Amino acid sequence: MKIKNKYESVIRIRRVKTRDIAQLALLSSQIGHEQSFSVLRRQIRFIKWSRVHAGFVAVDSVGDVVGWAHVFVRYMLYHKPRVELSEIVVDENFRGNGIGKLLVGACERWARERHIELLVVHTNVLRKEAFKFYEKIGYTLAKKTMFFWKEV
């Protein structure tokens, strides 16, 4: 799928590749999630070969990655399978141009190809702009929860 943004570059959505590591790291740092190249390399390799994970990137006309998303199938005992959009980021210089919507659309198509009817998104309560974005593209706030973790 392609769109033209305000910079007149054509945006293309494709699957993530190992060669995208540097640009994914840069985009992740824009939202405060610094990650080492070695960890990203391992994660991308896993995602590329997994049947239940997918990574998508938005690429501009010169080949730069200007956004990315990661989804996975989640199986639970008390719910039907669902696809979770676990990560999405669009370059701060390209936000508001429909790139996030294209990435989410690729994730939705991926879910439909697997005959999964529900795509869910978790977002930090501090990311108010994300709430507006998801509502604008048709998502409904289903519940508010607390998130706990423990390193083991």
Positions of E strands within 42-116: 53-59, 65-74, 82-90
Tell me the three state secondary structure of residue 122. Answer: coil
Name the residue with higher pLDDT: 143 or 118: 118
The pLDDT value recorded for residue 2 is: 54
The pLDDT value recorded for residue 105 is: 96
User: Residue ranges of the domains in the chain?
Assistant: 2-136
Segment 100-115 shows an average pLDDT of: 96
Selection from 97, 32, 31, 29 nearest residue 60 by Cα: 97
Q: Are strands 10-15 and 53-59 parallel, antiparallel or unpaired?
A: antiparallel
How far apart CA 92 and CA 67 sit, in angstroms, is: 9
pLDDT tens-place string over residues 88-106: 999 999 999 999 999 999 9
Exposed/middle/buried for 77, CB within 10 Å: 0-12, 13-18, 19+?
exposed
pTM attached to this predicted model: 0.85
The CATH number given to 2-136 is: 3.40.630.30
Q: What is the dihedral of CA 103, 108, 114, 119, to 10 degrees?
A: 120
Place of tokens 């960890």: 39
